[in-house]
Amino acid sequence: QVGGFSWENCGDRRDPVLLQSLSVAPDPISIPGSLRVSAAVSSSKAMASPLKAVLVVEKALGDLWIQLPCIDQLGSCTYNDVCTILDNLIPPGTTCPEPL
């Protein structure tokens, strides 16, 4: 089990997209096991596709932070077209699930 999940917004308040909240469940995280990640972001600018997102996931190992690699599109990954990914998860014209 991995416990004590925390996050911080390492950007600037003037960035066009800000992470408002991020949570994982369950906490502590069981490995192997299922993990649910929820996030909320806000944008101060109009955006157009393709939207690129760079996600850095790190794990604390004592005082050292280790960046987790991108494996099967999970971990510290670069997503070159977030809109297409979302369209594959929630096809256009269908109702978004309640959390979205």
Length of the chain measured in residues: 100
Q: Is the pTM of this model over 0.85?
A: no
List the chain domain ranges.
1-45, 48-92
Cis omega before residue 26 (within 30°)?
Answer: yes
Dihedral sign of CA atoms 32, 38, 44, 46 in order: positive
pLDDT per position as a tens digit, 40-94: 888 888 888 888 888 888 887 888 889 989 998 888 999 999 888 888 888 778 8
pLDDT in tens, 10-28: 777 788 888 888 888 887 7
